């Protein structure tokens, strides 16, 4: 289902933006001194556009630091006054939103677990109705693009047009390099369905460890995302939450220096001409591949007819196993990614079996 959302570009609510949107600040506001010292350091870097700080922290298990609560909003007001930076925090229920609206918080975001709960999102949307608030929506914990869009739709139906999606990664099922694995294909699908929706990355939550921040941030720009949310703490070694993924404002500056910002297109005519020529060749190859696929399918259907006449099963597991070995070996020789080739042939084979079973079952 394609959603039609009325979404404003980031420049509508952040008119001075001249770079990708960078939101930075501590995972949690802990003390007024820590919150302000971090903000003053970050504000010196003109690439930072919004200050972030967690006030209400949804923790997986009880007993860990769950945020300072409403007092943090007073600190946010001081940060705004003293640095001039717009401020943002996570909201998880109607009361949080009401308090943030009163305190003049500029950006609110909905966390991954809340996005996964339509009642929670609706409750938040109902309080926001009639405001011109900026709201960011993190992906739900599982890669369900419709659930992510559903949350954005609920807010949009409440009149919220300053919307941004945040890719913070998905809960892994097993031991993995990153804390929350990125799913770029889910991001591509979201971009396809909602081309006007700004999307930013949250490398801190994807990484879980500061040493991976640069590679994930670069990947986010390579994928055409519109900005980043990065956690920065004046002294990460003392942080009360997510210590390992936070960096000092100085280290954040180094990450930003190392990043190559990418654009959707270039105004260099030489580049554009070359791109057009290469794309033409790709179109040609794709068309040839599809014709080859159609010829393959004709053979599969012929085999299907013989199988029907001779009462032989559509699925031939030994032949399939031999084919997979052969295609994997060829993939290695041709320097193609073996997993990619495996998935491709799995899809082709699945469709062959589907077509043959339909043909065999047809009266």
Ligand X SMILES: O=C(O)C(=O)C[C@]1(C(=O)O)C=C[C@@H](O)C=C1
Site residues (vs ligand X, CB under 6 A): 300, 303, 315-316, 319-320, 323, 349, 352-353, 356
Q: How far is the CB of 349 from ligand X (least distance, A)?
A: 5
Beta strand pairing call for 162-167 and 227-231? unpaired
Q: Which residues pair with 199 in a beta bridge?
A: 165
Q: How far is the CB of 120 from ligand X (least distance, A)?
A: 46
When the beta carbons of 40 and 342 are compared against ligand X, the nearer one is 342
When the beta carbons of 219 and 307 are compared against ligand X, the nearer one is 307
Q: How far is the CB of 337 from ligand X (least distance, A)?
A: 21
Q: Which residues pair with 138 in a beta bridge?
A: 166
- Give the burial string for 55-88 (b: 16+ CB within 10 Å, else e): bbbeeeeeeeebbbeeebbebbeebbeebebbbb
When the beta carbons of 94 and 353 are compared against ligand X, the nearer one is 353
CA distance 356 to 216: 43
Q: How far is the CB of 307 from ligand X (least distance, A)?
A: 7
Q: How far is the CB of 291 from ligand X (least distance, A)?
A: 17
Q: Check if the beta carbon of residue 263 is closer than 8 Å to that of residue 256.
A: no
6 is written with which tokens? Answer: 């009325």
When the beta carbons of 193 and 303 are compared against ligand X, the nearer one is 303
Q: Check if the beta carbon of residue 54 is closer than 8 Å to that of residue 89.
A: yes
When the beta carbons of 212 and 320 are compared against ligand X, the nearer one is 320
CA distance 108 to 92: 10
Q: How far is the CB of 327 from ligand X (least distance, A)?
A: 10
When the beta carbons of 241 and 356 are compared against ligand X, the nearer one is 356
Q: How far is the CB of 323 from ligand X (least distance, A)?
A: 6
Q: How far is the CB of 328 from ligand X (least distance, A)?
A: 15
When the beta carbons of 184 and 320 are compared against ligand X, the nearer one is 320
Q: How far is the CB of 340 from ligand X (least distance, A)?
A: 18
When the beta carbons of 323 and 344 are compared against ligand X, the nearer one is 323
What residue number has its CB nearest to ligand X? 352
User: The tokens 């991001």 sit on which residue?
Assistant: 187
Q: Among candidates 224, 259, 244, which has minimal Cα distance to 47?
A: 259
When the beta carbons of 183 and 328 are compared against ligand X, the nearer one is 328
CA distance 165 to 155: 12
């Amino acid at each position: 289902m394609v959603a039609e959302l009325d979404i404003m570009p980031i420049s509508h609510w952040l008119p001075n933006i001249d770079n990708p949107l960078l939101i930075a600040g501590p995972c949690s506001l802990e003390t007024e001194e820590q919150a302000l010292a971090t903000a003053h350091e970050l504000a010196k870097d003109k690439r930072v556009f919004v200050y972030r700080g967690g006030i209400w922290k949804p923790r997986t298990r009880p007993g860990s630091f769950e945020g300072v609560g409403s007092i943090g909003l007073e600190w946010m007001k001081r940060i705004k006054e003293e640095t001039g930076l717009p401020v943002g925090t996570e909201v998880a229920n109607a009361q949080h939103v009401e308090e943030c609206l009163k305190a003049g918080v500029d950006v609110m975001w909905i966390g991954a677990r809340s996005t996964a709960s339509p009642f929670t999102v609706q409750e938040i949307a109902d309080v926001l109705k009639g405001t011109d608030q900026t709201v960011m929506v993190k992906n739900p914990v599982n890669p369900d693009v419709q659930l992510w869009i559903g949350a954005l739709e609920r807010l949009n139906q409440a009149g919220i047009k300053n919307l941004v999606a945040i890719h913070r990664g998905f809960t892994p099922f097993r031991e993995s390099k990153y804390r929350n694995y990125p799913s770029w294909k889910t991001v591509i699908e979201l971009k396809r369905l909602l081309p006007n929706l700004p999307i930013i990355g949250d490398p801190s939550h994807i990484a879980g460890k500061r040493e991976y921040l640069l590679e994930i941030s670069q990947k986010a720009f390579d994928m055409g995302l519109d900005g980043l949310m990065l956690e920065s703490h004046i002294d990460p070694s003392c942080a009360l939450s997510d210590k390992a993924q936070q960096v000092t404002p100085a280290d954040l500056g180094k990450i930003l220096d190392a990043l190559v910002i990418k654009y959707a297109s270039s105004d260099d005519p030489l580049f554009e001409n070359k791109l057009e020529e290469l794309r033409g060749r790709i179109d040609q190859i794709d068309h040839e591949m599809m014709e080859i696929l159609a010829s393959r399918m004709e053979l599969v259907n012929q085999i299907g007819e013989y199988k029907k006449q001779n009462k032989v099963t559509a699925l031939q597991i030994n032949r399939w196993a031999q084919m997979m070995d052969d295609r994997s070996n060829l993939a290695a020789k041709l320097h193609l990614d073996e997993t990619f080739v495996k998935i491709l042939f799995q899809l082709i084979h699945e469709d062959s079996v589907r077509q043959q079973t339909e043909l065999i079952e047809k009266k």
